[in-house]
């Protein structure tokens, strides 16, 4: 049972009242409200992009026990509390698969995401396929997408919200060019807090 603080409730009501009219569905607007609350920025509305039924498919997978794989400990920590209070999904970050700095690939985080994806996707296949949350590393997103070209399994959802300048927009455009279930924060905006807030918004709707 989630008991929201009165200030949080007041904030969400304020956001809902002041959002511009949009074509998002109920669940997409729940994600949007949470992201505006996290960022303090109504312009987020113009940067957010969903694939068809991404939220609905993600919620079904979360209810079935899909694990959540993140690129940073910060995002994993932000999600774990909500997961424990809702559907109890396993949450882990790429760091779990770091091995004494002996890694192949473009970056350490990209290596961890790929190792984590391979392990979790073999264990949880089909509707329980992992949800992958990228809020920091564009290289992790790029390498994952390259790997998925030859994979028999695909994520239940990819949250593409790496933040920064080098390779960030390129990685998001690559994700947008796929048929994978996805939620993307366009531009250079994003970050661990935003990516985690997206998952938490979906977890709240699972109960």
pLDDT exceeds cutoff 80 at 101: no
**Mean pLDDT value of segment 113-142:** 94
* Pair of tokens at residue 79: 């999600």
The band of 99, judged by pLDDT with boundaries at 50, 70 and 90, is confident
**How much is the pLDDT for 1?**
59
The band of 82, judged by pLDDT with boundaries at 50, 70 and 90, is very high
* CATH level 3 topology of 47-204: Rossmann fold (3.40.50)
**Mean pLDDT value of segment 39-68:** 97
Which DSSP string corresponds to 38-82? Answer: HHT-GGGGGTEEE-TTHHHHHHHHHHTT--EEESSHHHHHHHHHH
Percent of the chain with pLDDT over 70: 97
pLDDT exceeds cutoff 90 at 105: no
pLDDT exceeds cutoff 90 at 89: yes
* Pair of tokens at residue 76: 């994993």
**How much is the pLDDT for 144?**
97
pLDDT exceeds cutoff 60 at 184: yes
Percent of the chain with pLDDT over 90: 89
pLDDT exceeds cutoff 60 at 100: no
Helix 6-18 and helix 26-39, axial crossing angle in degrees, nearest 10: 110
Contact 160, 141 (CB under 8 A): yes
**Mean pLDDT value of segment 154-168:** 97
**How much is the pLDDT for 98?**
86
**How much is the pLDDT for 126?**
80
Question: pLDDT tens-digit profile of 108-119?
Answer: 999 999 999 999
Contact 33, 12 (CB under 8 A): yes
Q: Which one has a higher pLDDT value, 174 or 3?
A: 174
pLDDT exceeds cutoff 80 at 199: yes
**How much is the pLDDT for 103?**
58
34-67 b/e (C-beta count within 10 Å ≥ 16 → b): bbbbbbeeeebbebbbbbeebbbbbbebbbeebb
Those residues whose C-beta lies under 8 Å from the C-beta of residue 35, and which sit 6 or more positions away, are: 44, 48, 185, 194, 197, 198, 201
The band of 39, judged by pLDDT with boundaries at 50, 70 and 90, is very high
* Pair of tokens at residue 172: 């998001």
Interior CA angle at 114 toward 111 and 120, to 5°?
A: 135
**Mean pLDDT value of segment 165-186:** 98
Average pLDDT, the chain: 94
């Amino acid at each position: 049972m989630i008991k929201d603080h009165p200030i949080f409730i007041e904030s969400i009501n304020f956001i809902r009242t002041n959002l511009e009219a949009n074509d998002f569905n109920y669940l997409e607007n729940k994600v949007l409200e949470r992201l505006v609350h996290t960022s303090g920025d109504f312009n987020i509305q113009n940067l957010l992009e969903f694939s068809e039924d991404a939220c609905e498919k993600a919620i079904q997978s979360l209810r079935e026990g899909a694990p959540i794989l993140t690129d940073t400990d910060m995002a994993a920590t932000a999600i774990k509390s909500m997961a424990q209070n809702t559907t109890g999904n396993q949450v882990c970050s790429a760091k779990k698969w770091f091995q004494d700095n002996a890694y192949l690939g473009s970056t350490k985080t990209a290596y961890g995401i790929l190792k984590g994806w391979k392990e979790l996707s073999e264990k949880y296949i089909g509707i329980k396929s992992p949800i992958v949350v990228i809020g920091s590393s564009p290289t992790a997103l790029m390498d994952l997408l390259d790997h998925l070209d030859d994979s028999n399994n695909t994520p239940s959802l990819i949250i593409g919200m790496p933040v920064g300048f080098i390779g960030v927009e390129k990685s998001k455009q690559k994700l947008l060019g796929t048929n994978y279930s996805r939620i993307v924060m366009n531009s250079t905006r994003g970050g661990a807090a935003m990516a985690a807030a997206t998952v938490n918004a979906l977890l709240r709707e699972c109960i």
